[in-house]
Chain A
Amino acid sequence: MTTVADPKAPRPPRAKPSRLTTRGNTELYGWVFMRASGVILLVLIFGHLFVNLVAGEGVKAIDFGFVAGKWASPFWQVWDLLMLWLAMIHGTNGVRTIVNDYAERPGTRLVLKSLLYLAFVITVVLGTLVIFTFDPCPSGSPADLLPSFCTAS
């Protein structure tokens, strides 16, 4: 005779879900950031392209003096800094989701994401450093290569 389980006996506790729960709004903020930064980047990047390539003398105007002249103004410093940071966070987060979607082994994910974050840190730190410590008038350079506001030395 087989014994049938007592139907009134309490049921065994439900098996724990296999996935680790990671509650919190991180992914939500990430999702919203992608949309918001995308819209801002559209303005920043097309503004950047227009000023550098179309306005005034167009693409022929670009040389050391042109870039140095731009970075002498706080407006373009802020513009380029915003563009750098937003583009890097936007791009890194995008590649992070792609890695999550396509890399199947945890080891592959870890390696790819480590490389990604390393590239992010190097680019952002270097870029920020250049924007803030840029010297538009390096001494001992021929004056015709420098922006007009440099006093010849």
Chain B
Amino acid sequence: MTAVLDAPEQVGAIPSFTVTLRVMRYLPGDDGVTPVAHWDEFQVLCHGTDRVLDALHKVKWEQDGSLTFRRSCAHGVCGSDAMRINGRNRLACKTLLKDLDPSKPITVEPIKGLPVIKDLVVDMEPFFASYREIMPFLITTGNEPTKERLQSAEQRERFDDTTKCILCAACTSSCPVFWTDGQYFGPAAIVNAHRFIFDSRDEGGAQRLEILNDKEGVWRCRTTFNCTEACPRGIEVTKAIQEVKRAMITRAF
């Protein structure tokens, strides 16, 4: 009954609006007959500070509990919620609704090129298989040193950009070459190879270059820059791929 409560509300007022989410739904049937994927529309009341992930949460918690998507940290670090929002690969937890023109329906689809399991959840196994193939771990020879493996700031800077990868698959699933048959290693695997190839402490560079020299390796890159544009971490993916290509050429000639 006092006016005290009203005042702060006015000051910190956040604009709220209703957005329409068009979500690609996919539910494989138990009988083996796969129903066709279809679009579902949801009206959600959202605030100016809400992200696409918040809107999806509201749908799941208040409207349709069967809506399925992956998310873990919800703050752009775990890389679980990469999806195709308004036709572009982004993290749902890093995309603000107000940046997407909320007056129009916002389309949400699973990332392309990987088999869909349910709704927005895709099978990441082909993606991780390529990742494992480039041996994403330190390879050294000789005895293990008793202290840290030292490295100068410049040596660290050489591969700093590619250490930022969170393996969300936004880049690989935005690559048109990957869409065709899924045989291409994909930008993410090459980025993570780059992280070790240019690490001064690592001695497996030649092995990794040999792996990526494959018919389905870096030479299938068409430099369309889709990966660089899709990366939610701002990694210059295409540049990293080109650097791996250059390392191979200088090694061969």
Q: How long is the Cα–Cα vector from A118 to B91 in the complex, in angstroms?
A: 47
> CB within 8 A of B132: which of A14, A27, A30, A103?
A14
Docked-complex contact A101 and B248, CB < 8 angstroms: no
- Residues of B near A26 (CB, < 8 A) are 215
Q: Is the interface of A mostly helix, strand, loop or mixed?
A: loop
Docked-complex contact A101 and B222, CB < 8 angstroms: yes
Given A14-B132, A18-B126, A22-B214, A30–B219 Cβ distance below 8 Å?
Answer: yes
Q: How long is the Cα–Cα vector from A86 to B222 in the complex, in angstroms?
A: 21
- Asked if A25 is at the interface (CB within 8 A of a chain B CB), the reply is yes
Which chain B residues (198-252) contact chain A, with CB distance < 8 Å? 210-211, 213-217, 219-220, 222, 245, 248-249, 252
Interface centre among A14, A30, A101, by most chain B C-beta atoms within 10 angstroms, is: A101
Q: Mark B150-184, 1 if CB is under 8 A from A, else 0.
A: 00000000000000000000000000110011010
- Asked if B133 is at the interface (CB within 8 A of a chain A CB), the reply is yes
- Asked if B129 is at the interface (CB within 8 A of a chain A CB), the reply is yes
Docked-complex contact A17 and B219, CB < 8 angstroms: no
Q: Mark A39-69, 1 if CB is under 8 A from B, else 0.
A: 0000000000000000000000000000000
Interface range for B: 20 to 34
- Residues of B near A23 (CB, < 8 A) are 210-211, 213-214
Docked-complex contact A104 and B249, CB < 8 angstroms: no
Q: Looking across the interface, which residue of chain A has its beta carbon closest to that of B222? A: A101
Q: How long is the Cα–Cα vector from A17 to B182 in the complex, in angstroms?
A: 13
Docked-complex contact A101 and B177, CB < 8 angstroms: yes
Q: How long is the Cα–Cα vector from A15 to B248 in the complex, in angstroms?
A: 27
- Residues of A near B181 (CB, < 8 A) are 104
- Asked if A11 is at the interface (CB within 8 A of a chain B CB), the reply is no
- Asked if A79 is at the interface (CB within 8 A of a chain B CB), the reply is no
Q: Looking across the interface, which residue of chain B has its beta carbon closest to that of A22? A: B215
Q: Mark A118-140, 1 if CB is under 8 A from B, else 0.
A: 00000000000000000000000
Docked-complex contact A101 and B176, CB < 8 angstroms: yes
Q: How long is the Cα–Cα vector from A23 to B213 in the complex, in angstroms?
A: 6
Docked-complex contact B180 and A104, CB < 8 angstroms: yes
Given A19-B183, A101-B222, A104-B180, A25–B213 Cβ distance below 8 Å?
Answer: yes
Docked-complex contact A27 and B245, CB < 8 angstroms: no
Q: How long is the Cα–Cα vector from A28 to B126 in the complex, in angstroms?
A: 25
Q: How long is the Cα–Cα vector from A17 to B183 in the complex, in angstroms?
A: 10
Smallest CB separation, A7 vs chain B (Å): 20
Given A19-B183, A101-B176, A102-B180, A27–B129 Cβ distance below 8 Å?
Answer: no
Docked-complex contact B216 and A19, CB < 8 angstroms: yes
- Asked if A32 is at the interface (CB within 8 A of a chain B CB), the reply is yes
Docked-complex contact A28 and B213, CB < 8 angstroms: yes
- Asked if A13 is at the interface (CB within 8 A of a chain B CB), the reply is no
- Asked if A31 is at the interface (CB within 8 A of a chain B CB), the reply is yes
Docked-complex contact B133 and A27, CB < 8 angstroms: no
- Residues of B near A107 (CB, < 8 A) are none
- Residues of B near A25 (CB, < 8 A) are 213, 252
- Asked if A21 is at the interface (CB within 8 A of a chain B CB), the reply is yes
Docked-complex contact A28 and B129, CB < 8 angstroms: no
Q: Looking across the interface, which residue of chain B has its beta carbon closest to that of A17? A: B133
Docked-complex contact A31 and B213, CB < 8 angstroms: no
Q: Mark A82-126, 1 if CB is under 8 A from B, else 0.
A: 000000000000000000111110000000000000000000000
Q: How long is the Cα–Cα vector from A32 to B215 in the complex, in angstroms?
A: 14
- Asked if A10 is at the interface (CB within 8 A of a chain B CB), the reply is no
User: What are 10 pairs between A and B in contact, CB < 8 Å?
Assistant: A17-B129, A17-B133, A22-B216, A23-B214, A25-B252, A27-B214, A27-B217, A28-B248, A100-B220, A101-B177
Q: Apart from A18-B129, A19-B216, A23-B214, list 9 A-B contacts with CB within 8 A.
A: A14-B132, A15-B129, A22-B214, A22-B216, A23-B210, A27-B220, A28-B249, A31-B245, A32-B249
